[in-house]
Structure 1
């Protein structure tokens, strides 16, 4: 299959032990992340006119518990990405995902949340296969209906642990996991759907940094 995801990748989350699971993640998952990062980092930066970096989560702070998800990120700078809006590609026991992400209390999160609430045209007419999450540590997602997005954004603004992730997912039964061309199209189409929103948040973020 080359450097793309496959259905058997979900089995990684059945592996017990931190070292054992991380070994499988490094062998099977991180090369896929690297392939996608190499494929899209320049494309994203050309679109946003922001010199974003590519990161792969290493989970180095873990000492006992194996990670329940793992991910990569396009965005931020070479020192990190979580304080910035970013595009995240990852996998947990239920989904492979590409999400526009505001997680772990990024800088200017209330300003960005308010902006999205006041510019609903950015997300009001998404395709039916978009999903939203309010917690990057859990695999639970909801269909990206207008009221669900609104509630998630308000929680981002008002609750310290509030987060906002929006995008599309693949499940173990997705046909894209059997066909590289279909999977490549899935990620490119998803990225193109998220880029207008991402660029506006990045522009807003940079304006706030100048104040």
Structure 2
């Protein structure tokens, strides 16, 4: 936990501050930075950590939001609606109604997941329209359901050593994810 607090968290705070104005302009509303604190942990670090941006200064979990974070294997750049959000059903209806268009518009290398604690996901290229409808149905019917979509970058990818390219990739990914965010309201 000490290494996470001293080495990783300051980088996430800098990234959060750098991306917030871009996301605010993109979304047309103020987007606030929320760096994971892992407040209940004292010794054992979590498997992942992140910075999130949402349109609420006090928190992000109850809102559709954007995140950049990392597991040991990869960095993730995502749009997320997690189980605490009342917007799940709104998004589910749009996901179901627009599944063909979403499949067409998002890059094949993006991935989808229904569990923010699990580093795995399913590539967009492997999903069929029926899979989007199944995700929508789960969002509507299962209280603890959630959905995430975005890009994974392998931890060995050289882009992670080039701050400018990484920022550009994050911004480009958020550009592509914006229609999902807009469908959550």
Q: TM-score, normalised to structure 1's length? A: 0.77
Name the stretch that deviates more: 62-71 or 99-108: 62-71
- Pair 1:197-2:180 in alignment: yes
2-structure distance, mates of 1:32, 1:156:
33
Aligned residue number for residue 26 of structure 2: 47
Secondary structure at 1:60 match in 2? coil
CA contact (8 A) 1:84 1:102 kept: yes
Matched, 1:82 2:65: no
Where in structure 2 are the equivalents of 1:54-203 lying within 5 Å?
54-63=33-42, 65-120=44-99, 121-144=101-124, 145-147=127-129, 148-201=131-184
Larger Rg: 1
Give the gaps of 5 or more residues in structure 1. Answer: 1-21, 205-211
Residues 1:186 and 1:116: Cα distance change in structure 2 (over 3 Å): same
Gaps of 5+ in 2: none
Q: Distance in 2 between matches of 1:180 and 1:142?
A: 27
TM-score (norm 2): 0.87
**Closer/same/farther in 2, CA of residues 182 and 199 from structure 1, 3 Å limit:** same
